[in-house]
A and B are shown apart, each in its own frame.
Chain A
Amino acid sequence: MTSQERAANSDQRQAAEVRSGSIIPPGAPAPPFTLHSTPDQTVSLSDFRGQPVVLAFYPADWSPVCGDQMALYNEILPEFRRYGATVLGISVDGAWCHAAFASARKLHFPLLADFEPKGGVARTYGAYRARDGVAERALFVIDGDGIVRWSYLSPIGVNPGADGILEALEALTSTPRSA
């Protein structure tokens, strides 16, 4: 991440903290970000212009196996791809932790490290849980123009599944956004 990008993330964080308490609603622009997906690679939201993005914030890597949210999305990737959508997982875990987790669970999509400043991007989405120091379980479906089209904050202990995401992607493809 360049210092410029870090500064941008920091500005967004301050902006988000003003809003306090609720996640970004549909219709709002998705805050841009650039985060590490591996120790030597970064991913930017703007890389995916023109296609839907499913942004899935989650509290931590290594939750119990068969109920794991990321493992579930991994199984459903072909469904997401039918809508041309990319799935990005985000937690405050570092890139090395993500690498070990993704390898152990054979995950085939990027996990982004919202690690420094900790939870900086989660805050811009209103999806940071300050008292626990982790991201919420919050889902965002972002359209090809970078607009949030669906968002959902799940109770922290409940893996939200994928039904809401698929409904949102379906709505996205059947009702194009008016200019």
Chain B
Amino acid sequence: MAHGQSRLSRLVLPVGGRDHVLGPADAPTTLVEYGDYECPYCGLAHPIVKEVLHRMGPRVRFAFRNFPLAEMHPHALRAAEAAEAAGAQGKFWQMHDTLYEHQRALDEPDLLRYAERIGLDHTRFLTELSEHAWEARVREDFMTGVRSGVNGTPTFFVNGIRHDGPWDAEALVAALLASSRRPA
């Protein structure tokens, strides 16, 4: 294998039916974020992603996958499981937004409070959380990230290629537009 050369890190698992997706399935560009609900940089990225989606409109599809850095962030794994549990009740994005907007309050009672606020079936949410029903799914996200070259959080992929530059809205929009002009 060559050494000292830049190697492109590519998304090993394309966006598909298992993913939480915003935007049209046939959008010309796909933005994937691997994120951690307790990571302050992901917290910063959250409104940026919203702005990017707003500016790109139907030209982008966005998928979020979990990459909890559990050694560093003791609440990250549980928060990710809570988002997935909400997703099982069709309310992934509501929980996703709530978690990012309350990054400093991610203890178990907080998660239960958020579940109630967004109108989840309380018993089901509590059961799934206490049985770690979604932990395997979160770990699966994590491993697809590792194998795709996720190198910290947040890590973005623009049309399947790891985005190594800055991730302000300007930069992400530019990267998406550039990739939509490139032949696939």
Contacts and interface: CB of A to CB of B under 8 A. Distances in A.
A130 interface: no
Interface in B135-172: 143, 146-154, 162, 164
Interface class of chain A by DSSP: mixed
Interface stretch (B17-25, B66-74, B99-107): B66-74
Interface stretch (A39-47, A92-100, A113-121, A152-160): A152-160
Interface class of chain B by DSSP: loop
Contacts of B33: none
Interface in A30-84: 64-69, 71-72, 74-76, 79
A: interface residue count bin: 20 to 34
B123 interface: no
B: interface residue count bin: 20 to 34
28 contacts: A23-B4, A25-B3, A26-B1, A26-B3, A65-B40, A65-B41, A66-B36, A67-B152, A69-B151, A71-B71, A71-B72, A72-B151, A74-B71, A75-B70, A75-B71, A105-B72, A108-B71, A152-B3, A152-B4, A159-B152, A160-B149, A161-B146, A161-B162, A162-B146, A163-B146, A163-B147, A164-B7, A164-B149
Given A79-B146, A160-B151, A163-B149, 12 more contacts: A23-B3, A25-B3, A67-B151, A75-B71, A150-B1, A152-B3, A152-B7, A155-B6, A155-B164, A158-B164, A161-B151, A166-B146
